Amino acid sequence: MSLDLPSIRAPERQLQPAPEDRLAALERVWRRFVDTEALLKRGGRVAEVTPTHYKVRGLSDFARLGDIVEQRGQAGTRRGEIVKISREEIVVAPFERSADAGIGDAVFRRGPLAVAPHASWRGRTIDALTRAIDGGPPLIRGDDASSAALTTPGAMARQRVGTAFMTGVKVIDIFTPLCFGQRLGVFAGSGVGKSTLLAMLAGADAFDTVVVALIGERGREVREFLEDTIGDSMAKTVAVVATSDESAMMRRRAPDTAMRVAEHFRDQGQRVLLVLDSITRFAHALREVATGTGEPPVARGYPASVFTELPKLLERAGPGAEGKGSITAIISVLVDGDDHNDPVADSVRGILDGHVVLDRAIAEQGRYPPVNPLSSISRLAGKAWSAEQRALVTRLKSMISRFEDTRDIRLLGAYQGGVDAELDIAVRQVPLIYEALAQSPKDRPSADPFSDLARHLKSKMNADAGD
């Protein structure tokens, strides 16, 4: 059965639109009325309800995967997304947590979700459906048509990655320096310090716009992240938030919305930083939605579609086409039970151009950020270091490696100075290097980490010599 009803839509409220915005709005209304498709709404009825999904009969012939539908029930109008289509029925995952659909409720197709970013979104916090959640005025919508035309440039059309930038976080800028358009993963177990490091990196001065996607975080952490750690950079930041208590569909949508916003600013020629915390929680949301449609699990409960969605999202980051800007992506990856071979971590690692590993043992020693420089790699570091810096980093890594390899022996008291000159230097200098690399979100970003490190070592050595 299908229902054809006239479209009744409330006019979109806007914040004192400029004259040209008003003209554009008028044109949109006019178009809606001359377009006969928009005058009709395709409808069906709810036939089955589960806690996470509901099925609708009568819409199969018009539905497309990813389309938004509107369900009108006792509790009012609710929106959801089509996640499966069969000849007889479609499966909808609702955006609201409470599955309050009832048998027989009318469901109307609304078409794809249009994310139309606008320059005024900077400084704002929005949800996955681009509604303001920061208590501010409603968002101004950008141009639908140009947003719909945003695409990922083909491999050969892309600029090459090559210009380095400073993040201000010393341990990253020394050991795993980054370039514009790079995709970096921060891998760690729970509570080790991923979000804090990501927020510090989001403060990097080098970017025109920062898009922060917070997926599946606890509500309390969102304010801490945005207000305490990002702080002053918030003016050029768009935050897209789907907290852990929101539906799987909202958590699944939010990274896409964030990427769309990043793509918009990239196509304006800007250097955009996309920070995503965390990709694992996005994978959990994908799993929840996919298993609800009956997709079988293939690896640790994850259905196969999860492993096609992850690269699809991450491939959209990177350098833009010639003449456009770039999207540099920094994403956090939760490694369940500190198991670095977790299927999501594995699949994501292959797509990225670098990974930073945070170690619980380092955090337990109180050394923050708990980056393990020996297991962290930036594939573009070669383009960022000078020959001198590269040689210095190699030397630092070999000293740290000797120091860590002999930690147990030294703890047992089996280490004697004067036997191995290299080890003696490492034992003296590595604790000082660790001290110099320590940084908390409250510390000022470092403009020249190599000089800062040299200065710290020199002052400590001089102090020791003076004793």
Ligand X SMILES: Nc1ncnc2c1ncn2[C@@H]1O[C@H](COP(=O)(O)OP(=O)(O)OP(=O)(O)O)[C@@H](O)[C@H]1O
In the bound complex, what is the minimum distance in angstroms from residue 214's beta carbon to ligand X?
10
Which listed range, 18-26, 48-56, 144-152, 188-196, lies at the site for ligand X (CB under 6 A)?
Answer: 188-196
Which listed range, 26-34, 59-67, 192-200, 385-393, lies at the site for ligand X (CB under 6 A)?
Answer: 192-200
In the bound complex, what is the minimum distance in angstroms from residue 12's beta carbon to ligand X?
36
CB burial string 195-219: b at 16+ within 10 A, e below: bbbbbbbbbbeebebbbbbbbbbee
Q: Measured between alpha carbons, how far is 59 from 41 in angstroms, rounded to an integer? A: 11
195 scored as a contact of Mg ion (CB under 5 A): yes
243 scored as a contact of Mg ion (CB under 5 A): no
Among Mg ion, ligand X, none, residue 151 binds (CB under 5-8 Å by kind): none
Tokens representing 86? Answer: 């069969």
Q: Measured between alpha carbons, how far is 458 from 467 in angstroms, rounded to an integer? A: 14
Residue with smaller CB distance to ligand X, 69 or 172: 172
356 to 395, contacts with ligand X by CB under 6 A? 368-369
82 scored as a contact of ligand X (CB under 6 A): no
Residue with smaller CB distance to Mg ion, 130 or 195: 195
Distances from the Cα of 415 to the Cαs of 26, 110, 420, 421, in angstroms? 80, 72, 10, 12
Q: Measured between alpha carbons, how far is 115 from 130 in angstroms, rounded to an integer? A: 7
In the bound complex, what is the minimum distance in angstroms from residue 204's beta carbon to ligand X?
15
Binding pattern for the stretch 315-354 against ligand X, x by CB under 6 A and - elsewhere: -------------------x--------------------
3-class SS at 108?
strand
58 to 117, contacts with Mg ion by CB under 5 A? none
Residue with smaller CB distance to ligand X, 71 or 332: 332
Q: Measured between alpha carbons, how far is 232 from 239 in angstroms, rounded to an integer? A: 14
Among Mg ion, ligand X, none, residue 193 binds (CB under 5-8 Å by kind): ligand X
| Whether 395 contacts 175, CB under 8 Å | no
In the bound complex, what is the minimum distance in angstroms from residue 437's beta carbon to ligand X?
11
Residue with smaller CB distance to ligand X, 125 or 195: 195
In the bound complex, what is the minimum distance in angstroms from residue 194's beta carbon to Mg ion?
5
**SS3 track for 347-379:** HHHHHCCEEEEECHHHHHCCCCCCECCCCCEEC
Q: Measured between alpha carbons, how far is 210 from 234 in angstroms, rounded to an integer? A: 8
Which listed range, 80-88, 192-200, 399-407, 422-430, lies at the site for Mg ion (CB under 5 A)?
Answer: 192-200
159 scored as a contact of ligand X (CB under 6 A): no
Give CA angle at 380 (358, 438), nearest 5°: 35
Q: Measured between alpha carbons, how far is 374 from 175 in angstroms, rounded to an integer? A: 9
| Whether 274 contacts 208, CB under 8 Å | no
196 scored as a contact of ligand X (CB under 6 A): yes
Among Mg ion, ligand X, none, residue 183 binds (CB under 5-8 Å by kind): none
In the bound complex, what is the minimum distance in angstroms from residue 428's beta carbon to Mg ion?
36
The type of residue at 165 is: F
The type of residue at 447 is: A
State the first-to-last Cα distance of the chain, in angstroms, to the nearest integer: 90
In the bound complex, what is the minimum distance in angstroms from residue 193's beta carbon to Mg ion?
8
Q: Is the peptide bond before 369 cis (omega within 30 degrees of 0)?
A: yes
Q: Phi and psi (nearest 5°) for 49?
A: -130, 130
Among Mg ion, ligand X, none, residue 369 binds (CB under 5-8 Å by kind): ligand X
Among ligand X, Mg ion, none, residue 325 binds (CB under 5-8 Å by kind): none
438 to 457, contacts with ligand X by CB under 6 A? 440-441
Q: What residues are paired with 126 via a beta bridge?
A: 132, 240
With CB under 6 A as the rule, give the number of residues binding ligand X: 13
Q: What residues are paired with 158 via a beta bridge?
A: 321
Binding pattern for the stretch 411-440 against ligand X, x by CB under 6 A and - elsewhere: -----------------------------x
Which listed range, 7-15, 52-60, 185-193, 250-258, lies at the site for ligand X (CB under 6 A)?
Answer: 185-193
Which residues of the shown chain bind ligand X in the complex (CB under 6 A)?
188, 190-196, 334, 368-369, 440-441
